[in-house]
Amino acid sequence: MAALPDLTPLGVQRTGDHLTFTLMSSEDILPELPADYEQLLSMRLQEILAEPRNLTAEVNLADLTGISSRQLGSLIALQKVLRPRFGRVPVTGLSANVRHVLTLTHVDRLFELP
């Protein structure tokens, strides 16, 4: 099995056939994501997403008490890469503040929220 790719500013952990994506704190994200960030994510996840195995995925935001525009941009790019394989990816660990921002920005429509 190949090593997990660097998805900065996102993190990914694999447990068996389950992928858990996390989001770094706002201070750890570059002031601006590269214009081709979605393509970079796609390339870095290509090997995992091409596996014929029955994988599951989630985005865990338990470490976030708030969310910045840069973090939102990272989530939207991740969703675009994951949607063809997984459909709407569940988001876990939402604080009330993060849920509110996702709802206001309509990003809640892109993910499966509890």
- Phi-psi category of residue 106: left, alpha or beta, with phi > 0 → left and psi -120 to 50 → alpha: left
- pLDDT at 1 (0 to 100): 44
Q: Does residue 66 lie within any of the structural domains?
A: yes
Beta-strand relationship, 91-92 and 10-15:
unpaired
Quote the domain boundaries for residue 101. Answer: 10-109
- pLDDT at 29 (0 to 100): 59
How many domains does the chain fold into?
A: 1
Q: Does residue 114 lie within any of the structural domains?
A: no
CATH code of the domain containing 69:
3.30.750.24
Q: Does residue 53 lie within any of the structural domains?
A: yes
Q: Does residue 31 lie within any of the structural domains?
A: yes
Query: Reduced to 3 states, what is the DSSP secondary structure of residue 8?
Result: coil
Per-residue pLDDT of the chain (114 residues; tens, 9 = 90+): 455 666 777 889 999 999 999 987 766 555 677 788 899 899 989 988 999 889 999 999 998 889 888 888 889 999 999 999 999 999 999 999 999 999 999 999 999 998
- pLDDT at 53 (0 to 100): 87
CB 47 within 8 A of CB 2: yes
Q: Does residue 2 lie within any of the structural domains?
A: no
Q: Does residue 3 lie within any of the structural domains?
A: no
